[in-house]
Amino acid sequence: MDGTYNLYIVALSVVIAILASYSALNITSQIWEANGKSKFFWLLGGALVMGSGIWSMHFVGMLAMHMNMEVKYDVPLTIISMLASVISSFIAFYITMPKDINWFKIAIGGLVMGSGIVTMHYIGMNAMIMSADIRYDPGLWVLSAIIALVASYAALLLFLRFRHRGKTSFGKWGSAVIMGFAVCGMHYTGMKAARFESHAGMIMEQSQSMEFFLLYSVTVTIFVILLVSWGAMFFDRHVLEKLAFQDTITGLPNRNEMNRFFETHSGTEEISILFVDLDQFKAINDTLGHNVGDLLVQEVGKRLSRFIHNGQQVFRIGGDEFLIILQQSDPVYAQQVAEDVLEKIKNVYHIDGNELYVTASIGVSIGCVHSSDRTTLLKNADTAMYKAKRLGKNQQCLYSEEMGIQEVRKMELEKDLQRALELREFFIVYQPKWNVRTDRLVGFEALIRWRHPRLGVVSPLEFIPIAEETGLIIPITRWMLEEACKQSKAWQERGIIQPVSVNLSIRLFQSDNLIELVQHVLEMANLKPHLLELEITESMVLHDVNEVIRQLGSIRALGVKVSMDDFGTGYSSIGLLDRIPIDALKLDRLFTNDLDTPSKRAIINAIVLMAENLNLDVIAEGVENKEHIDFLTELGCHVMQGYFYGKPMDIHEIDIWIYEHEHKVEETGFFEDKKVEVT
């Protein structure tokens, strides 16, 4: 016996299959983007929508057939048929969930889902309670199973294709239509395979009211399921996604959205990264408050949002850090965009009654967006940004391989610097100072060196800035003071009474225990204060003028001498020279390199005259030949330091140098002066 179909209900079953497929496509995009427990939630939701949608389509399709007999359904078998559809969908989604998926897993997933659909269909058929037996056409039965497997395999391929597409698209709707018709094709092929053989004398008219009641119940159920799934998608996309992927202060995409961008562009295309960091932002937060800092970040975000258009995206990835991604790899264009960003950011800000001027530093890197290169790309941009800050801020810097090598070396030095003191890798060299008027030695300058176990001797120009940044300069300077004072005492015991000078960092003045430290090392070495000299730089004074002057005054009160090193190369402190408690000025080698220049000689002469009026001695650094000595002596400078008299030497070389000079001019006895003054 064959039944007849209600075409309207058949059309409804097709619509249900299409809507269920579309909902499943939407939810699968959430499965692969979710993390942790939320991934399981979306996995279960996708399985429920897909499985119940196919089951409901099957049930509506059953109701579409009118067989002129009363048909009821076995409730347990009906529930089992639905579970078969949902569970097989869950397993198939789980198998194909990993990001790196291969054809074998897709085939296994398609087999599981197809088998579940076939099982659901024929259990549902077996759940029919009626006055007839069901026989199946083997050929059509096999065909229905093949259609189910092919449809499932195609469905998983479509899920994988749209796993990263969160928004509605014609392609997704087209895929849902294909999936819906494939599922319906399987169902109606399976129905065609069924032959109903009625029991003799048991045929009766079907109750139409019951049929429509069941139809309405299933229809309402499936639309409730679809409504819930679409509601979850809407809530996720417009509420949860906004919270998770949008910065609350600026409204710009946040770090999560940046990571999602990289996930969706994991090919071999090259892009440009602009890492933007505001200069002196912490000072604004500390002085004006975090509310003003937040408002400033908000205004910066508004200005940067103007750079969002086709091929360009802007993200806020930290407190005062932003990232601009350009989907092209032209370094000239990337640097031009960086210059435009700097111009926009540095314009005045009027915030909460404050007029703020803020600049930024930008690091630019260009490279492949492939997942294996992504971290390197971001790190390179960060490296270039810090380079821009070291160049003076309010600049942009393009990353280069040479820069990367330098940064790797710097990181290695920073790491090893932590243990260098402990492992006794530092040593001190001493450079003599000479008074040409008296032709006598007038002291030594102690200079630190680092004998790295792998890199050899590392210049202080490399590791001192790192020590300054990390704060390690404090224990390093303490060690230097102790060693230099011990050495000066050892020379004194040999009859060589010469002062030794040590360079100080501004970090020592900020530590609030500099005076106690100086007293401690003098007492520990049992050294008289006038045999220790401390050298500062003129820019150091400008950090906190009054505090530095106070501490220098206390140091000189102990009897320790103070000199200003590299005078004339940093921020000018001429206006403060009459207030700063120092004993001498040290002219940087910048002045001695081209003494034949009239303008340079005029500057040195002016400095010497000024120093004489302030009762300060003048020491010239970088003296390398007799011509330098003659010029400087003519200009009134008599104390000199440089390679002409001696390079920086370790303690063994210094002993040889002293021995040679001691015997060369033994009759003068200048090494035996009991009190040495720089004159």
Contact 511, 548 (CB under 8 A): no
In degrees, rounded to 5, the angle at the alpha carbon of residue 16 between the alpha carbons of residues 14 and 17 is 65
- 237 near 226, Cβ under 8 Å? no
Task: Report how far residue 42's alpha carbon sits from residue 89's, in angstroms, rounded to the nearest whole number.
Answer: 13
- Residue given tokens 């015997």 in the structure block: 663
Q: How would you write 442-473 as a 3-class SS string?
A: EEEEEEEEEEECCCEEECHHHHHHHHHHHCCH
Q: What is the mean pLDDT of residues 143-155?
A: 83
Query: Is the separation of the CB atoms in 294 and 349 below 8 Å?
Result: no
Whether the full predicted model's pTM is greater than 0.75, yes or no, is no
Least Cα distance to 643 among 621, 665, 627 occurs for 621
- pLDDT band (50, 70, 90) for residue 36: low
Lowest mean pLDDT segment, chosen from 504-508, 616-620, 672-676:
672-676
Percent of the chain predicted with pLDDT > 70: 83
- Pairwise CA distance, residues 401 & 386, whole Å: 15
pLDDT at 168 over 60: no
| Interatomic CA distance for residues 404 and 21, integer angstroms | 50
What residues contact residue 402 under an 8 Å CB cut-off, 6+ apart? none
pLDDT for the residue numbered 670: 46
Task: Please check whether residue 420 is in contact with residue 450, taking contact to mean a CB–CB distance below 8 angstroms.
Answer: yes
Q: Which residue has the higher pLDDT, 496 or 207?
A: 496
pLDDT band at 448 (very low <50, low <70, confident <90, very high): very high
Query: pLDDT-based confidence at 204, cuts 50/70/90?
Result: very low
What is the number of residues in the chain? 679
Nearest by Cα to 623 from 613, 615, 632, 635: 632
Identify the pLDDT of residue 208: 44
Q: What is the pLDDT of residues 595-606, one digit of tens each?
A: 778 888 888 888
Q: Is the pLDDT of residue 263 over 90?
A: no
Domains of the chain (ranges; CATH) run 4-200+208-242 (no CATH), 255-409 (3.30.70.270), 471-654 (3.20.20.450)
Average pLDDT, the chain: 82
pLDDT higher than threshold 80 for residue 228 = no
The stretch 18-46 carries a mean pLDDT of 70
pLDDT (0 to 100) of residue 206: 46
